[in-house]
Copies of this chain bind each other. A is one copy, B any other.
Amino acid sequence: MTTVKLAVVFYTTYGTNHQIATIAAQAAKDAGAEVRLLRVAETAPQEVVNGQEAWKAQLDKMSDIPVVTPDDMDWANAYFFSAPTRYGVVASQMRGFIDTLGPLWQEGKLANKPVTATTSAQNAHGGQEATLLSLYTTFMHWGAVLVPPGYTDSVIFEAGGNPYGYSHTQGDLFDKAEPAIAHQARRLVEFAGKIAA
């Protein structure tokens, strides 16, 4: 199998999507992929971040995680995205990063690569589906190959049954989520291996 080079790209404010991304990265490594765990740069003004202790603490906690660059997107032959919703669309920090990919996109360097996505929201139906569908719409512009999990494993049902990707409701525990996230990541690696072959 050709080596799968997976970029796990996440944005988080308080840590939920960091946790999702960490689980995905580990599962992908275990499945044989070369993995880069990468965070999207914070774009909120420093004083806003500092005004919320939990936000600042999370940023400090991630100081060792590299900020994703277009070079990482070029390097990877598969993508795993994770970011919280903001009114049915992914957080603007993630959109800001996506908007910098124009040159790479024009060279076709985002094309033909498999991708999957996860998200989180405050409410059970508070944009968890809409946010993932919105991300996939963007990936279609890239010429990506979309690998949402569907209902390809029973663990998905136990984690809320989101066929577009795992989605986390604030306050949920991660015990039922972990197998669903790991399945989604492993399945992506499997398809990426075939496509890169």
Shortest distance from the beta carbon of A152 to any chain B beta carbon, whole Å: 4
B137 touches A87 (CB 8 A): yes
Contacts of A194 in B (CB 8 A): 194-195, 197
> Does chain B have a CB within 8 A of A167?
yes
* Given A123-B162, A127-B129: A86 and B112 interface contact (C-beta under 8 Å): no
Question: Can you name the residue of chain B whose Cβ is closest to the Cβ of A162?
Answer: B125
A151 touches B141 (CB 8 A): yes
Contacts of A128 in B (CB 8 A): 125, 129
B95 touches A92 (CB 8 A): yes
A87 touches B145 (CB 8 A): no
Chain A, range 168-197, C-beta contacts under 8 Å to B: 191, 194-195, 197
A197 touches B195 (CB 8 A): no
A87 touches B138 (CB 8 A): yes
Contacts of A147 in B (CB 8 A): 145-146
Contacts of A98 in B (CB 8 A): 86-87, 92
Chain A, range 62-103, C-beta contacts under 8 Å to B: 86-89, 91-92, 95-96, 98-99
Tell me the complex Cα distance, A127–B132, Å: 12
Question: Can you name the residue of chain B whose Cβ is closest to the Cβ of A147?
Answer: B145
Sorted from nearest, which 10 A-B pairs have the closest CB atoms?
A: A143-B150, A123-B161, A125-B162, A146-B146, A129-B129, A92-B95, A87-B141, A88-B137, A87-B138, A92-B96
- Knowing that A92-B98, A105-B151, A143-B163 touch, tell me 7 more A-B residue pairs with CB under 8 angstroms: A88-B138, A89-B89, A124-B125, A130-B130, A130-B137, A136-B140, A145-B145
